[in-house]
Structure 1
Amino acid sequence: MTASATVLNIWCLRHSTGTDFGVNQALAGLAPSIAVAELGGTPLQDFLKSLPGVIGAIDSARSDPDNLYLTMDTAGGLGNSIWPTDRSTLDIQADQSVSPGIQVPVAFSQSLSLWDFDAVSADDLLGSITVFESEQGAGELAKLAKSDVESSYYFVTYRVD
């Protein structure tokens, strides 16, 4: 039987802004994976906001949002989107989150990629994570999806059953 991952939450720490070296340096040390149970009941967003540089990253993000959608590979395009399920996008900015609640099959490993839709040029890859079948039963995990090119930082929280 193939494992299934449920995407519980996508939290935007910093939406795409282009190059901002100082902020990128401040965020470079973020943990790429966090076992949510190890936070002792502290919500993920509160824990991350307590780290040096995180509030500055949220505050420095420009005001126009990412037009977010999710794929199961590193190929962009709304035709490859698995969420939102109607092939649309969701506007999201720094310090906002969404709860997709979608399930994806995981046979050994499965890539999940976050994209910013662009009507006049190629869509921008905001970051990717890899979900592993071996994470089955580990509880909620949060992984960092980031793009150095776009200066975007998102945490994707999921569970593998």
Structure 2
Amino acid sequence: MKSLTIVSVKCIKPSSGIDSVAQSIFGVIGGAIGGAAAVVGASVSGGLLIAATGLATAGGASTGVSVINGLDHFFAGADELYIRVNGSKVWPSGKYKDINSQQTKDVGHTLPLEGKVKIQLWEYDVVSADDLLGYLELGQDHQTGSFTYLVQNPGEGSIYEINIKIS
């Protein structure tokens, strides 16, 4: 039987500091403020919509959107990362580990590669439900060796590398 080791996880881009519920709320508020900006509010991703004025470009996007997207840096920070395999938390031993952009965390968790294995990266949230940052599914027919996979959740804005070894 093969074994799977989650060697490490690298954060390429942490998740947005503003969750999708907040984005939706501010999108509605921005639409009401900006009149025709309701379309702009719906298209904002990963940013805080503070106000959308009548400064629309030919493409229908407000110049305020670029400012809003930039504000996300004030809300984003380290992800509070933990890992689940097939629905069970396997790392870390505490609630989570802080991980910033371009930072790598050694995991070193080994398990049998039986059937399908689903590795999920999660961010711990105190106020709302935890956020899925990305996942990787592997089957027992996966070849042996060392591999790096890119996982992401566009809704959260997160991008991660998962380094594994199959032997």
* Counterpart among 75, 83, 89 of residue 70 in structure 1: 83
Superposition pairs of residues 1-161 of structure 1, within 5 angstroms: 1=1, 3-17=2-16, 19-20=45-46, 62=73, 63-73=76-86, 75=87, 80-84=88-92, 86-137=93-144, 139-161=145-167
Following superposition, the deviation at residue 149 of structure 1 comes to: 0.6
CA-to-aligned-CA distance 1:129-153 (integer Å, 9 cap, x gap): 012222242x111111110110100
Q: Which runs of 5+ in 1 are unaligned?
A: 22-59
Contact 1:112 1:128 in 2 (8 A): yes
Aligned-partner residue type, residue 79 of structure 2: D
Give structure 2 stretches of 5+ with no counterpart: 19-44, 48-70
1:107–1:133 CA contact under 8 A, matched in 2: yes
Partners of 1:66 and 1:116 within 8 A in 2: yes
Amino acid at match of 1:152: S
TM-score, structure 2 normalization: 0.63
1:118–1:141: structure 2 CA closer, same or farther, 3 Å change rule?
same
Q: Identity over aligned residues, as a percent?
A: 28
Per the normalisation by structure 1, the TM-score is 0.65
Counterpart AA for 2:11: C
Shift of residue 20 of structure 1? 4.3
Higher radius of gyration, 1 or 2:
2
Deviation at 1:13, TM superposition (A): 0.5
Q: What is the CA RMSD across the aligned residues, in angstroms?
A: 2.0
Q: Distance in 1 between matches of 2:97 and 2:163?
A: 17
What is the alpha-carbon distance in structure 1 between the residues aligned to residue 72 and residue 9 of structure 2? 17
Deviations 1:50-85, CA, capped at 9 Å, x for gaps: xxxxxxxxxx98351110000013x5xxxx31100x
Q: Are the aligned partners of 1:81 and 1:87 in contact in 2 as well (CA < 8 Å)?
A: no
Q: Which shifted more, 60-69 or 116-125?
A: 60-69
CA distance in structure 2 between the aligned counterparts of 1:116 and 1:20, rounded to whole angstroms: 16
Aligned length in residues:
115
SS in structure 2 of the partner of residue 141 of structure 1: strand
Instruction: Kindly indicate whether the alpha-carbon contact (under 8 Å) linking 1:13 and 1:94 is maintained by their aligned counterparts in 2.
Output: yes
Give the number of the structure with larger relative contact order, counting CA–CA contacts within 8 Å between residues 6 or more apart: 1
